[in-house]
């Protein structure tokens, strides 16, 4: 049995959670409270970098959300969430990497403050650029790379839907808006959807983690 270490509010863990549900893989959930569970010696043996998500499958430990998703795709190939055609595969990987490298870092300042600081204004401009690029990637397709859900949709869609909790209006991006509606219509997305209260909890937790990180950087 596969053990899944996660917290329902963690965006990185949600990627893996959605992949497990879409592939209908049975798992034993271990919910981690991020105010200390991740520092416990038993968990540090699973992930010495104290991050969720992590899985242990038949004794094999895998950490890092994108690596876990690739592992699940290879080990449990049906239904396939990774196209083989070169163009579609490139689109999926672009969506994943742009979410990790361009979109997610812009979400952090928006979570940290609601004020329109220069940092927040810049973050919103960068987000606009990413959303326009995602619209191009989608084109007339229902999903990134074609007519079936992919790992690219899971990673990018999860990041983009988070923006709606941060008052980013998706109606200016009609392709993105209908793609998000399509994703939210899926059983797995409905099962994992965050309520507004969940989001406020997540926001408070992230603010604490950012402050702790800034403090430890000052001390170094």
Ligand X SMILES: N[C@@H](CCC(=O)N[C@@H](CS)C(=O)NCC(=O)O)C(=O)O
Q: How far is the CB of 172 from ligand X (least distance, A)?
A: 27
Residue 50 lies near ligand X (rule: CB under 6 A): yes
Q: How far is the CB of 54 from ligand X (least distance, A)?
A: 8
CB nearer to ligand X: pick between 13 and 180: 13
Give the separation between CA 95 and CA 165, rounded to whole angstroms: 20
Q: How far is the CB of 182 from ligand X (least distance, A)?
A: 24
Interface residue with ligand X among 25, 27, 56, 64 (CB under 6 A) is 64
77: Cβ contacts below 8 Å, ≥ 6 apart = none
Residue 11 lies near ligand X (rule: CB under 6 A): yes
Residue 53 lies near ligand X (rule: CB under 6 A): yes
Q: How far is the CB of 62 from ligand X (least distance, A)?
A: 10
Give the separation between CA 106 and CA 126, rounded to whole angstroms: 7
Give the separation between CA 160 and CA 122, rounded to whole angstroms: 17
Give the separation between CA 82 and CA 149, rounded to whole angstroms: 9
- Is residue 79 reached through a cis peptide bond, with omega within 30 degrees of 0 on the bond before it? yes
**Residues near ligand X, by CB under 6 A:** 10-12, 34, 38, 50-53, 64-65
């Amino acid at each position: 049995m596969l053990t899944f270490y996660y917290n329902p509010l963690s965006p990185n863990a949600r990627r893996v959670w959605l992949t497990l549900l879409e592939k209908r893989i049975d798992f034993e959930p271990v919910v981690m409270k991020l105010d200390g569970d991740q520092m416990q010696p038993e968990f540090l043996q699973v992930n010495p970098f104290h991050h969720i998500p992590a899985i242990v499958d038949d004794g094999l430990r895998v950490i890092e959300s994108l690596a876990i998703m690739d592992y699940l795709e290879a080990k449990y190939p049906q239904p396939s969430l990774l196209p083989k055609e070169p163009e579609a595969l490139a689109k999926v990987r672009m969506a994943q990497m742009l979410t990790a490298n361009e979109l997610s870092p812009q979400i952090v300042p928006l979570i940290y403050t609601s004020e329109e600081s220069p940092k927040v204004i810049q973050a919103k401009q960068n987000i606009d650029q990413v959303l326009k690029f995602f619209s191009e990637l989608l084109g007339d397709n229902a999903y990134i790379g074609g007519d079936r859900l992919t790992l690219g949709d899971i990673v990018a869609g999860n990041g983009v839907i988070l923006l709606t909790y941060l008052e980013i209006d998706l109606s200016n991006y009609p392709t993105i808006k209908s793609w998000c509606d399509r994703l939210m219509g899926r059983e797995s997305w409905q099962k994992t959807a965050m309520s507004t209260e969940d989001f406020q909890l997540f926001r408070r937790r992230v603010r604490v983690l950012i402050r702790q990180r800034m403090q430890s950087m000052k001390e170094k």
